[in-house]
Amino acid sequence: MNIYDIAKEAGVSISTVSRVLNNKGNVNPATREKVEEVLERNHYTPSAIARGMVSKSMRTVAVLTVDIRVPHYARTAYTIERELSHRGYEVTLCNTGGEAEETEKYLRTMLEKKVDGIVLVGSVFNTICQKPEIRKMLCNVPVVLANGKLEMPNSYSVLVDDRYGIALAVNALIEKGHRDIYYVKDMDTVSARLKWDGFVSTLEHAGIAEAKKNVLHTTSDLEGGMRAVRELIQSGRKFSALVCGEDITAAGAVKALLQEGYRVPEDVAVTGYNNSEYARICEPTLTTVDNKPELVAMFSVQLLTSLIEKTDAYSSCTIQPELVEGKTI
């Protein structure tokens, strides 16, 4: 059932049907009514593909993320989707696993589908976008990197000041008199490096020089946090506080500490990062840092649509995290 069938059945030309469909141009009310009746009767649905053929756009945006199961990405992607939906765009979801190869594969398809824009959610994409073949693919489509910096003419970035975010946590601990503070580091993205940098420089600024050595490398999951704590205990080193790069590792740390008989925060203070549900489930509730994924998402959408619709009001922007007081420091 296409526009021709409708036109024939209504006894008008396809132009008239199109006018009725799009509320454009002058259509005699009587004619309009007749066409609408036929439209209704046949449950006619115009083909967005054919429309896309003409407009060269399917009103679709690709959201590339690492893994939608990670709450932080889920929150970001959720808000992006909702915002774009309100503006009449659909969202294609891509879980790249943070791998360049998968990213490239998705991008290829997205370019074929002529998406109106692309949002990259996750700090890994900073690294991935260094690859020349990926840069090349991105240079002909509006792109926003949520959390990072993309140096391209057709792109904007939303930056989260994670260096400052970790500094907030570290300073809060220093104020409480902590000196033996360890950092639980789990990844090696741009954002992770900012955090680590924030940790070291804040401590050094406070006159704690050996900060650089106080790092526990682990994986980005509950088990990772637990392992880090157990290793630290085993090592016999003195510690009174743990700054974790993620809520999930912080939750793991608290769990392991409790299991090993430490009291939190009386014996050991812990901070998380992300202000996720994980922080609230943890008992005691985690003191954490809100890096505002919803805000990142809103800005990303704002920037992307201004790129798409060429109404560039903004340029890139930076978001300041906030400390969220829990009961673990």
Partner DNA sequence: TGCTTTTAGAAAAGCCCTTTCATAACAAGA
Partner DNA sequence: TCTTGTTATGAAAGGGCTTTTCTAAAAGCA
Give Dmax (Cα) for the chain.
88
**Contacts of 229-238 spanning 24+ positions with Cβ under 8 A:** 229/253, 229/256, 229/257, 229/260, 230/256, 230/260, 232/182, 233/260, 237/180, 238/180
3-state helix, strand, coil in the chain (%, to 5): 50, 15, 35
Q: Which stretch binds a second copy (CB under 8 A): 61-69, 147-155, 196-204, 235-243?
A: 61-69
Burial 200-217 (b: 16+ CB within 10 A, else e): bebbeebebeebeebbbe
Residue of the chain from 93, 101, 152, 176 that contacts a second copy (CB under 8 A) = 93
Q: Judged by CB under 8 A, which stretch of 17-25, 106-114, 146-154, 299-307 contacts a second copy?
A: 106-114
Nearer to a second copy, 241 or 251 (CB): 251
Asked whether 144 and 121 are in contact (CB, 8 A), the reply is: no
Helix (H) or strand (E) holding 249: helix 247-259
Distance CA 194, CA 186 (A): 13
Choose the binding region for a second copy from 31-39, 105-113, 150-158, 310-318 (rule: CB under 8 A).
105-113
CB of 10 to a second copy, least distance (A): 20
Q: Which is closer to DNA, CB of 28 or CB of 259? A: 28
Short-list 205, 249, 258, 202, CA closest to 227: 249
Q: Of the candidates 125, 156, 278, 299, which one interacts with a second copy according to CB under 8 A?
A: 278
Q: How far is the CB of 313 from DNA (least distance, A)?
A: 25
> Taking CB under 8 A as the rule, does residue 111 contact a second copy?
yes
Position among 101, 277, 312, 325 found at the interface with a second copy (CB under 8 A): 277
Alpha carbons within 13 angstroms on the beta-carbon side of residue 157 total 16
Binding site for DNA (CB under 7 A): 2-4, 11-19, 21-22, 24-32, 44-47, 49-51, 53-56
Which of DNA, a second copy, none lies near 240, with the C-beta cut-off 5 to 8 A by kind?
none
- CA 207 to mean position of chain CA atoms: 35
User: Which token pair is 301?
Assistant: 């959408």
Q: Which of residues 191-230 bind a second copy (CB under 8 A)?
A: 222
Compute the least distance from the CB of residue 144 to a second copy, in Å: 17
The footprint of a second copy on residues 126-165 (CB under 8 A) is 136
Q: Considering the complex, what minimum distance in angstroms separates the CB of residue 95 from a second copy?
A: 6
Contact yes or no for 228/243 (Cβ under 8 A): no
Instruction: Provide the binding-site residues for a second copy, judged by CB under 8 A.
Output: 43, 45-50, 52-53, 56, 58, 60, 63, 67-69, 71, 74-75, 77-78, 81-82, 85, 90-95, 106, 108-109, 111-114, 136, 222, 248, 251-252, 254-255, 258-259, 277-278, 280-283
